[in-house]
Structure 1
Amino acid sequence: MTDTPSAPHPRTRLDDNFASPIRFSLMASLSDGVELDFAALREILQCGDSPLSKAISHLQAAEYIVARKGSLGSRPRTWVHSTSAGRAAFAGHLQALREIVALGGGPAL
């Protein structure tokens, strides 16, 4: 055995902000700077208002997304888009997942 330090396991680069399946799916939905409204996200993610609202609040606090409020006609609306920091963090998270799979000899993602 050598005393050469090995590189840290890729799991150490996983971002806990994406640990929730809804937050993970939300970021995946907002790739490439897409902006979606709350109702569209709720339909895409197939979740209720409360879990989606909590996911948005969490990712907004991490500065990974921006939610803006406005109205369409007389109806209030919330639109959400990812920030460059959020897209970079999500890309890093995905890369760490790919490296974990590769270490295990599983299929490439």
Structure 2
Amino acid sequence: MNDPHPTVGLDDVVHQRTRLGILALLDSGASMEFGALRDALHLTDGNLNRHLKVLQEAELVATERRGSGRPRTWASITATGRSALAAELAALRALIAAAEQ
């Protein structure tokens, strides 16, 4: 049997453009404030909130409220999220390699 096409390795939760961008930004190891993520990815509050919820449900990202007075939401990548991002990038590299043959 032939090896599966590299796209079989893509994860639908991670591969979506916005969620891939969130994970890539958070992969630096530092948590990011909601507004910084929103601005970096040119999203609305509602759109970012929805994508963070999907990533949280998949346990790829954790969020927490910090600060007094007007607390802000901070997001960070989880160990599971790092693994999922690494697997996604490996699948994309395999796809590029296959396309270049």
Asked which structure has the greater RCO (Cα within 8 Å, sep 6+), the reply is: 2
TM-score, structure 1 as length reference: 0.86
Tell me which structure has the larger Cα radius of gyration.
1
**Which of residues 20, 24, 27 is equivalent to 1:28?**
24
Contact 1:33 1:83 in 2 (8 A): no
Percent identical across equivalent pairs? 36
Range with greater deviation from structure 2 (28-37 or 54-63): 28-37
Secondary structure of the residue aligned to 2:71 is: strand
Unaligned runs of 5+ in 1: none
**Whole-angstrom CA distance in 2 between matches of 1:78 and 1:20:** 22
In the alignment, the residues of structure 2 paired with residue 65 and residue 102 of structure 1 have an alpha-carbon distance, to the nearest angstrom, of: 29
Where is the helix percentage greater, Structure 1 or Structure 2?
2
What is the aligned length? Answer: 101
Post-superposition offset of 1:18: 2.0
> Pairwise CA RMSD of aligned residues?
1.3
The answer to whether structure 1 residue 7 and structure 2 residue 3 are counterparts is: yes
- Distance in 2 between residues matched to 1:96 and 1:50, nearest whole Å: 30
User: Given that residues 10 and 88 in structure 2 are in contact (C-alpha distance below 8 angstroms), is that contact kept between their aligned partners in structure 1?
Assistant: yes
